A and B are shown apart, each in its own frame.
Chain A
């Protein structure tokens, strides 16, 4: 790890090298290792280290961005010159006012945990051993990511954060079925490899020899992983100031209006006690809890400094790295829990499907947020409140806003889910949705 002092020295040096009106420095450090397994053996075991820098230069509202991973003085000076040269050739952006000012960053604990190679391999072996006992085949990955990020600018911003994650995920394969499970924690000791193995193995065994089922409209119980996969595109195309104001979001023009069912509250909270906190965005601006939808009513969307300036709104601290052509994105969304246990939710279904995961979800139309995708790693038929049999995977075509207007009940707890890489985690409950459109089946 580089540490805050070292990164600050680099940032200060680059700011001194710059003759531009305004300069922003973004530094990122990664120390990562990943042990990947398949067919009940480790087949990839890798480690990589990188230190990178990206700078944004502003002269007369003309912006240039350049990046490198070379840190000798000559390379850093060249980097500054390159960004200045780019800015010179730019056209002025009339909507750009300035880089953001210094704002107080909430304090969070920086936790770094550098796992030993053997620790990851041991966790993997736990999963493999259990799979073998059950005559199943384990695959998956155990990643240890350690990252540092720092942002500085010529208006006085300095922000530094360091964090780690240990993320074990597995898919256990049977002859006719598969099951998924994952766990994520700051340190290896927080990851329960036995539990991960047991959940995935149970899913695999329970979904052995799945039966054909006709596509059509079903009630569904979406487990937290499936809810997360559904909401990923809402996160990008929904409460994003750029897309919202382009009139291309399903939420465009709906501020203060009922957009989802009254039982839906969606919050972006980078400080939730069950996730790994992130105190600032890629412009070094403080993050804070933001209620996007409250009891179905659209309350807020995400802004960064650029879009806050254009639309005269408060910056909510959701900037991505420059140059950002995606818009500001809330990266810590969760749906407020309800009052039912998952068991009770299943009990209340007359005829429907229990879905473990969604797969390859893609947007058909960003405006209506119609998405398509497949079920994966355990899909089950529920009849009269009981799981009666595993079924083959199905393709769905579903509008997310329609689904969130048809939520019957929400689980009373949130499950922590990891992204496949990095420190980002999110929280999701199980959802019982009254209508979900399946359009075709597949052969397994």
Chain B
């Protein structure tokens, strides 16, 4: 393995320090976007580089480069050492890492059909057909389809003796129809908004989703929304479709359980978290049927991998069990810090550290943060969506995210969805436009009284999670099935 050997050679050049690791990252991507029957983007990208991370004088130094010449490697190592030396002058605490055994391993995303080997003509044809299928009315002013495929080869070596190579492949695809009438603008997407569905799958994902088949339906819904009634305002029962619940989990649980945030390390940018360490093991985050996990091992999850970027094996961790806050997503450094703050906490890193590219410092990132489906141990009855609707006297069913916003401690959130339907006496009724809902995170999750079961549970991909300075956009996953929340503040916006 040439690259792994090169990474070892770089590691060998690093002067004696407490700890060091080297990552070489080779990223390849392909993007296609159509708009109104035209291929608006057809692009292929490639980026290769490496980074050196040293723990020296108990502080970190990090430098990255795409210059693989001997001179370039020496300069990068020197820079990382200089940075550590400079930081050491001002340090107030020492960085400590959890214990980690040496690992030699390989991991490859299991896929059926390599997306990079599917002929481009076929991909373009598929997207243009899906684009064309949306042209069901002159009111459709924009029809779009998007496709992306990514291949990331990572080679990690550390002074612990670890040697890990991984190949992560993920694919994403979706369509979006926009309709306009006067001042009214509405859009509908399939299978999800903001670049569709994304999973660690190959081209089989694209084939399964049958975009063309859904083009006409989503376009018709966008047109129908133009004349639909406005979502009513008030406190009503709310059923969220899985694709919306996925983002709800992302924002109000996923970010809130990032230990670096909770410890204040993200305060200067994305904020902190209301889930402070003293709440561990005792805080009622949600109702007793709410079980949230971080699971980097589930098939197809966009946050699924073999090992994180510190060499820790992918894991499944309960974050919230039977409604009680149980754990954070952690790193080798922050897990040690948490053990000092809360002596009841005894765990090492649960393996969630990733970097968005070779040029970025690895940091805690969501893996697949999931709401466990109903009908399984401790999750209550496993509902079917149709039964859940039948069980609701009055409420709103909302699907597919349109907007999202949450405060910097992850308490107050507001989401808007593309579409809603009124539920009256257990039946789905009129279509509603501009649905929105607001809440305070723990109150909201404590109002959850029903979750649909495994057959309606999907791992949705969120490929655009932003965090950190410099900014890092990461791909994360969220398993969710439709769920009901009682007496939620709905329709708060004065349109």
Residues of chain A having any CB pair with chain B under 8 Å: 32-52, 54, 63-70, 82-83, 85-87, 89-91, 93-95, 117-118, 121, 124-125, 128, 137, 139-141, 143, 169-171, 173, 178, 246-248, 322-325, 359-368, 370, 372-374, 376, 393, 395, 397, 420-421, 437, 439-444
Contact = CB atoms under 8 A, between A and B. Distances in A.
Nearest to A31: B65
A44 B60 contact: yes
A141 B469 CA distance: 7
A10 B209 CA distance: 43
6 contacts: A32-B470, A48-B63, A49-B64, A66-B45, A117-B83, A443-B409
A270 to B, nearest CB: 23
Given A47-B64, A139-B268, A141-B469, A362 B403 contact: yes
Given A50-B49, A360-B405, A444 B38 contact: no
Nearest to A443: B411
A70 B40 contact: no
B180 A248 contact: yes
A51 B412 CA distance: 41
A86 B65 contact: no
A363 B405 CA distance: 9
B39 interface: yes
B281 interface: no
Interface stretch (B301-309, B320-328, B433-441): B433-441
B402 interface: yes
A65 B40 CA distance: 11
Interface string B20-51: 00000000000101010011111111111101
Contacts, number: 266
A440 B235 CA distance: 14
B43 A66 contact: yes
A45 B61 contact: yes
Interface in B48-105: 48-49, 51, 59-67, 76, 79-80, 82-87, 89-93
Contacts of B267: 38, 137, 139, 171, 173, 178
Contact of A118 (B86, B121, B408): B86
A41 B91 contact: yes
Contacts of B359: 48, 50
Closest 5 CB pairs of A and B: A323-B41, A367-B185, A442-B412, A117-B86, A139-B268
A86 B180 contact: no
Contacts of A121: 86-87, 89-90
A323 B412 contact: no
A189 to B, nearest CB: 18
B411 A325 contact: no
Contact of A69 (B49, B185, B266): B49
A47 B178 contact: no
A91 B128 contact: yes
Contacts of B141: 246-248
B414 interface: yes
A49 to B, nearest CB: 5
B408 A362 contact: no
Given A117-B83, A248-B142, A323-B40, A51 B120 contact: no
B404 interface: yes
